[in-house]
Structure 1
Amino acid sequence: MKRHIILLLFLLVLPCTFAFKQDFSGPIQLNWEMHFKGKADMRSPFFALTAMTWKYSYSSTVYRNRVAIKLKNDVSIDKTRSWVKWDKIKDPEIRASLLHHEQGHADIQYILLLEAERVLKNRNYAVSNYKAQISELANQISNYFDTMQRNYDEETEHGSNHKMQARWDDIIRDKIEESRIAMSELQK
C-alpha cells in the first residue's frame, strides 16, 4: 500500500528590516523540536508549515557618481509560526520523510540568500534611482524563489512523490554548489 502524505506549505515573508547577522556557511538545519513551536492549523490539509523570512537592508555611499552599497542579508525560520501536526507523523519513516522535505525548503531559502548577496552587491546602480533599482531587484529575487518553492511542493506532491523528491534533492544540491562557486568567484 502506497502511503500518501501531504507535507508542507511554504510561507515566504519579505520584510525589509535592520540589524541582523549574516551566515553564509550553510542552510539552516531543521529540527522538529527547535523550529516548529507554533500552534498547528487543524483546518490545513498539510501536516506541517515552515514559515521562513528573508530580510535585507543596506547602507549606501555615493562617490564620483557611483553608488556603493553595504548589504545585510539574512534568512531565518519563524519558529512561532512554523508548526507540525504531531498526531499525523507518529511513524518514524513519515516523520523523517517529512523533515527531509521541509529541509528542502530551508535549502532553497539558503540559495536565495546566496543569490541575493551576489546579485544585489554586484550591480552598478544609478545615483538618481538606486533605491528603486535595489528594491526592484530584491522583488525579482523574492518572486523567483517564491515560484521555486511552489514548484518544489507541486512537483514533489509535498514530498509524497519520492521519485520527484529525489530529483529535486539533486536540483537543490546543484543550485547550492553553483551559488557557492559564483560567490567565491566574486570574492577573488
Structure 2
Amino acid sequence: MGRKHNLLLGIVAYGSAMLPARVAAQTAPVPAAGPFFLTLHVAGGIGLVALGGGYRLAHQRLEPELLVGYLPRRLAGRPTAIITLKTTYLPFSPRLGHSRWELSPVAVGGMVNYTTGRQYFLTNNTAGRYRPGYYWWSSAVRVGALAGMRLTRVGHSAAEYAPRTSLYSEFSTNDLHLVSALTNRSLKLTDILTLGAGVKR
C-alpha cells in the first residue's frame, strides 16, 4: 500500500509541475509578424501583374520594396519583364473606431523601373539604331511618382509589427508622361496617369 501511495503522489507532483508550463505555452501571445511583407500588384505601369516584397521602416510608415512585373506578348509585342524599385510613405493611418481596421487616406511615394527586352534601350546611343540626339529619353528606364490610399486590417498582436493585410489603390505617372503633358497641352489627366491596385501581407 505504501509503495502505491508513493507512486500516486509522484504522478500528482509531476503533473502539478508540468501544468504551469503548459498553461504558459497556451496563453503565450501570438508572435508578431516581422517587418518583411509580400506584395501582389496589378497594372499601374509596372506590368500587367507584379510580385515582390519589401521591408517596413519608421514605425510602419515607410515601405521600400522590389517588384518584378510581367507584360504578355499581346501588350508588349513579346513577353517582357519590368523590375521596379518602389517606396511608399504613409503620413498617418488612423484606426476606424474600435475595430482592427486602419485607413490611410494619403499614401505617396516614388519609383524607378527598368524594362527588359531588345526593343528597349538605356540611351539613344546604346540603341545603335537611331542618329545621335534622335531620342533624348531612355525607353528602358522610367522614374515616377505615385499617390493613393490604403485600407489595412491589423492582427490581434499589440506589438508594432503585428500581422497586417493591406488593400491599396494608387495613381502613378512618370517622367516621360509629365514632359509630354508640358509640351502637349491637349493631353488630359487620364493620358498621363495610370491606375494600379494591390494587396500587401
* TM-score, with structure 2 as normaliser: 0.30
Q: Which has the larger radius of gyration?
A: 2
More helix by share: 1
More strand by share: 2
